[in-house]
Each structure stands twice: as C-alpha cells, then as structure tokens.
Amino acid sequence: MLCGAAAGGRAEPEVPAPPMGWMTWNLFGVDIHEEGLRRVADAMVESGMAEAGYTYLYIDDGWQGGRDKRNNIIPDPEKFPSGMKALADHLHQRGLKLGIYSDGGQLSCAGYTASYGFEEQDAKTFASWGVDYLKYDYCNAPQNKEAANARFKAMGDALRKSGRDIVFAVCCQVHLEPWKWGRAVGAQLWRTGPDSRDKWKNIVYVINCNAGLHEYAGPGGWNDMCMLSVGMHGEGATPWIKGTGCTGIEYRTQMSIWCMMAAPLTASCDLLNMSETTKRILMNKELIAVNQDQLGKQAVREVNTGALNVFVKPLSNGDHAVAILNLGKTPKDFKVDFAGIGLPGRYKIRDLWKHEAAGSGASWQGNVRSHETKVFRLSKMP
Ligand code: GLA
C-alpha cells in the first residue's frame, strides 16, 4: 500500500507489515565495528532469522565520525574502514537491508554528529550508501510538538527527495505523542514507549504504554515498542540495557505481546550465540504470521483485571489471535468466555506456542503460569 507522496518527492516506501530485523544498541551500544556487523549479517542468514523475516540490520547510535570539508556526514573511519556503502552491499548481496540512525538535533542521544540543519544533505548521503531505513531520534532538540513536527517533517521530506525508498522511523520522547502525527511527517513507524530493557518490569511497562494505541497502528504506520530483549539474559554490553535478565517464560511473553500488537520485531541479542530456546522464541513462525498478518490490526486489550490480561487481534482470514497473560506472581486458573471478548460462537483453538490443537468450544479454561502468555488462534466453527 502506498501512503501518498510528499510534496516534490516520490511516494513513501511500502511498509505493509511491521518491519523485522536486528539492532545494534542493546548488545554493542556505541562499540560497533563493520567486522562484527558482517558477522551478525552472516548469522542472520545462517541461523534462519532472515528466512523467518528478520531482514533489516539496523545500526544504532555511535557510527558517526563527524562531517567532511563539504559537510557530508561520514562514518567513524576506525569503526567502518570500508565505508558504509560496502556494508550495505554486503547486506544487499545476502538479501538483507541496512538501517541507520540519526537525530533531529545537532547531536544524537549518545553525543554524536546528527542531522539538524543537514536533513537534505544527510538523506542524500544515506541514499547514496544504499540505506533502506532511518531511525530518527530526538535528543538535544526542543521538547514541544510544534518543533518536533517541523524537525521530523524536514527529514521525512528529505528522505522522499533522496531518490531512494528509505523507511522513516520516528524515535522521540513519549510526551510528544508521535503516534498522533507520525504519518503526517512521512513516518512508517514511531516509538510508543521508553527504551526497552532486559527486565520483566520494563516489559510490562512498555506493554501498558502501547496497549491503548491500537487505533494508530495499521498498514504503513506501526506502533514501535522498541527492541526485543529476548535471549539477552542480562548480558547487554552497555549500561543502558544491562539488567537482571528475564526468564524464558517472560521472553515468550514479550514475543507474544509484540506479535499481538503488530509491533516491529527488532531482535537485539547475540545472534552468533543464540540458544535453541531463544531461536524457538524469535523464530516462532505461527506467531510471526500473527504479527505480519496483512490486515495489520493491533490487538485490543479486552480484559485488564488484576493479574489477567486478554488481548484479541483480528486476522485477515477471519481467525482471531487471543493472548492470555498472567501478570501475577503465582500460577492461576483462568476461564475466558469468548463471547465476553467479542467473539460469540464456537471455535477451533490452536496453541501457537505448543504448535498443536487445543480443543474447541465457546471458551478456554486452563492454568497460566506466572508471567506466562498463552496465544491461541481461534477459527470459527460453522
Ligand atoms: C535513545 C533511543 C535508543 C537508542 C539511543 C542511542 O535512547 O531511545 O533506542 O537509539 O538513544 O543513543
């Protein structure tokens, strides 16, 4: 689906489903190097992640090396001795895509050269390197909606004029409510919560930030819940992410709810050393199909009482995905009447974590472990 054309530019890139990929920030912070990224790219292909849909490799903050004499932004020559185009070529040859990072201030969040005042020049530079996606942050910039709109629009327009399809991802403070104006500035996704951390509390916090925003998500414009910490186990390389880690059940919940919310799926763990459990979580094809479903609906939270959360996501073939989350500290027996969550009638029930049928009927009843999410696909019975 095309989202329309910006003045004087080409149509915006098609983003019919939430983008999927891997981002440098949680694992490497600003300590990034082209050799390491080439290895990650190869691991994306060899591990099956690329085939599962994770095709973007996003370079976050810290790649910048200032500007040259003509004010062209350049990568840090020590981190990227072969230049950015060579890395983009490496990715494209493997069917992958390159994402990069900048900021609407003079300096990025981590204090590196950013794009304010150089939007058109930088967009052209990114296009010349073969960049496919820009995460555009908003540190060191005025914190009001008017200024944010103007600065993001300047980059949105510049990307459209750059001569290349570059997906535009808004990353700004939540009080600026980018979901309300993201599409208008030419963005295809916008952050709806804080930085993700490798902690259960943070996962719940991010879910609560995003849960009420379902009306803003849809083909061409996605609510971004930030990176998945699945598989990090507290071992993020930077103080920004270093955490206590989560249990396998908690990582499964993160994957479940991100998929239900039609949020971009951005892995961030060490792809070269993924455990089988991590692979099964990140590459759960039945859940990814829910995330990528062409109807593009974000789940609605139909129940939010005490420990019980129930989310419902309509799917393009008439099925519904239903997620049942136990936020409590102890296992609980729950009964969910489908009519009570807007789904009258009888359904065939398929468990998307066990990958097997889970009975049929007008309700589901069972035990949900502490912090666990069950995800079912419901197909209406005649
Ligand atoms: C902000 C963003 C993060 C990351 C860092 C980089 O904190 O929210 O996702 O991009 O900046 O400095």
Segment 82-96 shows an average pLDDT of: 98
Q: Would the pTM of this model clear 0.95, i.e. be above it?
A: yes
Which residue in the list 76, 137, 224, 270 is annotated as catalytic? Answer: 137
Looking at every residue in the chain, the average pLDDT score rounds to 96
Phi-psi region of 303 (alpha: psi -120 to 50; beta: other; left: phi over 0): beta
% of residues, the chain, pLDDT over 70? 97
**CA distance linking residue 261 with residue 273, whole number of Å:** 28
**Closest C-alpha among 319, 331, 292, 299 to residue 54:** 292
- Does the annotation count 137 as an active-site position? yes
Classify residue 167 as exposed, middle or buried by CB count within 10 Å of its CB (0-12, 13-18, 19+): buried
CA torsion, ordered 113, 116, 117, 121, to nearest 10 deg: 70
Query: Check: CATH 2.60.40.1180 for 300-380?
Result: yes
pLDDT of residue 9: 64
With a Cβ cut-off of 6 Å, ligand 1 is lined by 25, 60-61, 108-110, 137, 171, 195
Tokens of residue 92, six digits: 């494209």
pLDDT digits (tens, 9 = 90+) for 158-195: 999 999 999 999 999 999 999 999 999 999 999 999 99
- Phi and psi at residue 155, in whole multiples of 5°? -75, -40
- Does the annotation count 319 as an active-site position? no
**pLDDT band at 316; cut points 50, 70, 90:** very high
CA of 247 to the centre of ligand 1 (A): 25
Pocket test for ligand 1, best of 25, 101, 134, 209 (most atoms within 8 A of CB): 25
pLDDT of residue 6: 46
Q: Whose CA is closest to atom 6 on ligand 1?
A: 61
Q: Which residue type sits at 276?
A: E
pLDDT digits (tens, 9 = 90+) for 231-257: 999 888 777 677 789 999 999 999 999
Q: Which atom of ligand 1 is found nearest the CA of 226? A: 9
pLDDT digits (tens, 9 = 90+) for 51-74: 999 999 999 999 999 999 999 999
Q: Which atom of ligand 1 is found nearest the CA of 195? A: 8
CATH class, domain 20-291, is alpha beta
Domain ranges of the chain: 20-291, 300-380
Q: Whose CA is closest to atom 3 on ligand 1?
A: 195
pLDDT digits (tens, 9 = 90+) for 288-307: 999 999 999 999 999 999 89
**CA distance linking residue 304 with residue 97, whole number of Å:** 38
